[in-house]
Structures are given as C-alpha cells and as structure tokens.
Amino acid sequence: LGKTIKNAVGSIERLRFTNSGTEATMHAIRLARGFTGKKYIVKMEGGYHGAHDYALIKSGSGTMTFGVPSSAGVPEEVSRTVLVGRYNDAESIEKLFKEHRNEIAAVITEPVLGNIGVINPENDFLKSLREITEKYSSLLIFDEVITGFRFGFKGYQDIVGIKPDLTTMGKIIGGGAPVGMFGGREDIMAHVAPQGDVYEAGTFSGNPLTMAAGIATLDQLKGKDYSSITNYATRLEEKLNSLISEYNIDATINRCHSMFQIFFNKNKVKDYTGATASDTEKFNKMFHMLLEKGIFFPPSQFETEFVSFAHSETDLEATVDAFSTVLKCL
C-alpha cells in the first residue's frame, strides 16, 4: 500500500501508516516541530485536522488574537502555539510569519477546505503558501485526508502542481478500515524514530486488515475514470443551480471536482467568514426534508457532499426530483 501511494503522489518519498487521520496530522505536526526546532504551527480558520489538541483551535477573531481552545481540556499553553490564519488570504498568513519570525514550524491546511462546506483555493493561495513557507524556512503540510485519491489516482497537490513537504491522508486509502498516513520528503521523514528522534508508534499502525482493504480499494480505483464522478457532480450542480434560480432562493454552490456544498447565502463563499454567514437553519430544514425523501445529505452546512462511483443516473434524477420539491417548500 505504501508503494502504491508513493508512486501515485509526487511529493511522498517515505511514509508511515497510522490508524486515523487525527493521528496522521498529530504526528506530522510533531515531526515538523522536531525537524525545524520551531514551536508554532499555522492552521486555517475553519480547517479541520482531527481531534487532537493541536488541531482543536476554535476559529474566530478572538481565537486568532488570544489562541483560545475550542474544546474544553486543551491547555492554553498548547493552544497558544497554534496560530490561525485565513484561508484564501495569503497576507494574513505572511503577517503571522512576520509576527513570529523564525518560530513557525509549519503551515498545515486542507488544500481544498472540506470541513466548513467546500471552499476552493483562489488567487494562487496554495502557491503563496508554498512561497511563504520556503521564504521563512518553515514546512508546508497538506492535509489530504479528504482530497487524497478523490479526484484522480493522486493527491490534489498533483492536480494543482504544488509540492508540500509533508502530506497526510486517511479515509480512501484504508478502503473503509481505520487508517491514516503521513509522509513526504525523505530528509524530513528520516527524523522519525527509530532512525531519528521524533517518536511515533501505534499498536495497530499498518495492520494487515487495513493494508489489505487499502490495497484492494486502490486497485479498484486505479482503473477508474474519475471524470465520470466529476461529470456527475457538474451536472448535479447545474441542475441544482437552475432550481435555485427558479425558486429564487438565496443560495450558492461551491464545487471542487466531485465534492460540493450548497450554502444558503446569497454571496459567493470563499472563506470561513462567508461560510458561517450562511443560513444554517435553512440547511437543517433541507437536510430533514431530503432525508424524508430518501436522500441522505451530510447533516450540517459545514460538511461536504461527495459523489462516489456507486452513484447512478437513477440516483442523480432522484436527487434532483427531491430537491425540486424541497426548494419549492423552502
């Protein structure tokens, strides 16, 4: 499984398996700190990297100023080492680097935000992150737990041509079994124990069941025509957009290849502030009405719809029909 991932994802020269995406980002962050000898991590407002202390930083302006943990139980000393920047705002990131000169170990981001709805990178944001991290001798970590192998037999990084230093993955590469992976530059990965002094371990890491499930899934995916799921999502988006205009609903759709989200917001959503300005009550109503009609969307405005190879033309029609009724009611 490791060889398959290495061959498919350009930046991954060496990797380690974990049991979840949470573990993968936790170890990647520790490795970045161990490798650079620096303390701070930058994450994006609204970016989700699992449920460990270094990732659970509440998004919002107070958080950005004071580093207040979003979850009870995260010591303030820990949350203060995680700085929050604004996705799609390279200036906000560079400002953090200027304020914490030579002290930032890494920037970690989902290349496409997928945990506050879908938000696409704009204005060469990912390229700017690469340039800024290089300029300040910091690492760039792409959390591809959602995007890895989702839009093609590769990472999103290979689609946009930006090479991070470290990458995390999960979900798809385990084929439904518990999995996570962190990997990247050989010289950085060499710092992981036992070769190096950054400790990482897990009783079930790389367990045979998960590895077999991952190999089987990636074997299946290798021959697949990913353009079919992108095409499905594109047509669904078009049809939903025409219903949105027909019923004059304040809503906008963000889509990245085969993943999308409807925001009940009349403005285009390109960051956390835009996403949280959406009408979540309306989304919840839509969710329940769709569920009654047999269409199971993720139950939150701040999640993402994924098209899978299992979706059929019949599913597409049923989804559009259900939407038509639901949007009319809304």
Ligand X SMILES: Cc1ncc(COP(=O)(O)O)c(C=O)c1O
Where does this chain bind ligand X (CB under 6 A)?
Answer: 20-22, 25, 48-50, 110, 114-115, 143, 145-146, 170, 180
Q: Residue 197: how many CB atoms within 10 A of its CB?
A: 10
Is 124 known to be catalytic? no
Closest to ligand X by CB, 114 or 251: 114
CB closer to ligand X, 136 vs 142 = 142
Minimum CB separation of residue 184 from ligand X in Å reads 16
Contact 255, 118 (CB under 8 A): yes
* Max Cα–Cα distance, the chain, nearest Å: 62
List the catalytic residue out of 38, 43, 154, 171. 171
**Which residues face 109 on adjacent strands?**
142
Element (H, E) at 182: strand 180-184
Q: How many CB atoms lie within 10 A of CB 244?
A: 18
- Tell me whether residue 200 or residue 279 sits nearer to ligand X (CB atom): 200
Compute the distance between CA of residue 232 and CA of residue 249 in angstroms, rounded to an integer. 23
What's the closest the beta carbon of residue 142 comes to ligand X, in angstroms?
A: 10
Measured between alpha carbons, how far is 228 from 28 in angstroms, rounded to an integer? 33
Q: Compute the least distance from the CB of residue 144 to ligand X, in Å.
A: 8
Contact (CB, 8 A) for 286 and 314: no
Nearer to ligand X, 136 or 272 (CB): 272
Q: Tokens representing 305?
A: 């719809």
Active site residue 163: no
Which of 89, 143, 165, 279 is labelled catalytic? 143
Query: What is the smallest separation between the CB atom of 314 and ligand X, expressed in angstroms?
Result: 28
Looking at the annotation, which residues are catalytic? Answer: 48, 143, 171
